[in-house]
Chains A and B, each alone.
Chain A
């Protein structure tokens, strides 16, 4: 039954199809391993809203609360800190939060103070560069990193700087303003982080 003539076309076809089918099988087998690295169901479930009373936060103070394991800054801004905000515009990357930072806050916080109420800043305290927690440097006094410092945030990791509304200064590694999370006021002295105001969503 020896076949003296080798059918090269047939051999090439069989080699190619075998390789393709085998390759598809290998790719399919890799998928579960790659998918196993994604956040697990347990990690995804840990994201409940956080409610915080504002009664004990004095003017000029910052409180850090954890929401989805992220630090959220709640700051009671002083009148002078608020007055300084418009004066920073020329030194900022995106003062109106409508350029590169258009998606960094909900629509109801896309304003000069990046907040619902001017004095209350509620912000995810994560530097938009590589995710460190910037330090709150609220006092308006000359700092080593800026002789004309008007209060704001200074990131210890790569020295990015933000103003008192989390808006990023020019000439630093961070590209965007810090994120404002969805939040609303339950009453005058209580804020809930993780839930939009009614009718705003």
Chain B
């Protein structure tokens, strides 16, 4: 029997001699720094969630009806009548939220350890593109159940393009294929959600990993193991502080996978709506083009960006400023490799200014999320009494948060380009080498 397999292996190798070298380059002979910590779980977890979304998504399409008249009922049908349909849908909806948890943590890892800095700019840019496509993918998936939140979410997000001067109104009609979200809108969002964007996403993920493997992984010390001493147990010419990705990090990642799946299973089985955070109650009401839900807000992962739209008032007869602010908040992240001219990568050796600014940035992000989730509307009367002008306080708080968010990038540029940063000495090798 073993003979049969080795014969097949030889047969394939004879005809495709390039396959094994590719496997070795990316797995058994990809030498990653040996000092990865907990922050390095989230890349492989993102890959796991992507696979989950694709598999559960394929099975959902088998029973989903992408028409304005049938979509809402078909989702109820999946939940009630299809064998195990509820599990598959909850895996998909929980996966969507956890995707953003994992991606946000993955991005934060990149910021604290300077993984976007030279020579990994391309890795960062491809990653940011993945984030952008993921946001479009999540938004369109959110529209598909055709509940009332789906409908009004679609209306608002598509209307963002309507604030563009001159072409805005026509552009909105072009995107919706009607004068408001309708059958045509749902149909094309379905096509984009299940075919177009997943293909783009997969391509970008392959490029993201290929670009990473060209330059090699960063690590919590931010030192380049490629430039350190050579020679390890497997290869005298490879970095002394590197270990083969497989089996060492595949096994480590499996521990993360186990823990992650336990958390995900708990949510799916016991808290599938997560108290209205992963699945909103108002979306259990069918779409109604005449009534906007009384409390409308996006799902949690968009709330920080949504709050920026809400906090910036109109000026000069156009609402485009809030939209520019929101897209600007994402564009600035794209530009991180050029905004930050820091001499060291890891937060372990960076100046105090960077640490303070990053802390404020994270607080501002959470502050904006508080506004976007309408938590401030409940918290402000608790702190300041019932008779205060909630909107005025919320606007003041929110606008300060917006200033801090954008201020982080301005400060980081000045701090590193003008040489204000006082860094600590960076070690020659990763600190945990033996």
Binding site for B on A (CB under 8 A): 34, 37-40, 43, 64, 66, 68-71, 93, 99-101, 128-135, 142, 144-147, 155-159, 170-176
Contacts and interface: CB of A to CB of B under 8 A. Distances in A.
Interface string B251-293: 0000000000000000000000000000000000000011111
Contacts of B290: 64, 66, 71, 133
B69 interface: no
Contacts of B289: 66, 69-71
Contacts of B294: 135, 156
Given A128-B319, A157-B292, A158-B310, A39 B184 contact: yes
B118 interface: no
B244 interface: no
B178 A39 contact: yes
A9 to B, nearest CB: 37
A130 B162 contact: yes
Nearest to A94: B317
Contacts, number: 119
A130 B319 contact: yes
B179 A43 contact: yes
B6 interface: no
A92 to B, nearest CB: 12
A147 B292 contact: no
Contacts of A39: 173, 176-179, 184
A38 B180 CA distance: 12
A40 B313 contact: no
Nearest to A145: B391
Contacts of A68: 179
Closest 3 A/B residue pairs (Cβ): A100-B317, A175-B314, A130-B159
Nearest to B318: A175
- Interface majority SS (helix, strand, loop, mixed), chain A: loop
B368 interface: no
A173 B46 CA distance: 35
Contact of B173 (A38, A146, A159, A176): A38
B390 interface: yes
A182 to B, nearest CB: 15
B178 A130 contact: no
Interface of B: 152, 155-156, 159-160, 162-163, 173-180, 182, 184, 188, 289-296, 309-310, 312-319, 322, 377, 381, 387, 389-391, 395
A174 B319 contact: yes
Contact of B319 (A66, A99, A173): A173
A132 B319 contact: no
A159 B390 CA distance: 11
Given A156-B293, A157-B296, A40 B391 contact: no
Contacts of A132: 152, 155-156, 292, 296
B175 A69 contact: no
A103 to B, nearest CB: 10
A130 B177 contact: no
A99 B318 CA distance: 12
Contacts of A128: 319
A133 B292 contact: yes
B317 A176 contact: yes
Nearest to A155: B292
A122 to B, nearest CB: 15
A130 B313 contact: no
Nearest to B290: A71
A133 to B, nearest CB: 4
A69 B176 CA distance: 14
Given A145-B391, A173-B312, A37 B174 contact: yes
Nearest to B386: A144
Contacts of B174: 34, 37-38
A126 to B, nearest CB: 9
A43 B178 contact: yes
B319 A175 contact: yes
A159 B312 CA distance: 12
Contacts of B318: 100, 175
Given A40-B177, A69-B182, A71-B289, 8 more contacts: A69-B179, A100-B318, A101-B317, A130-B309, A144-B390, A157-B296, A171-B313, A173-B313
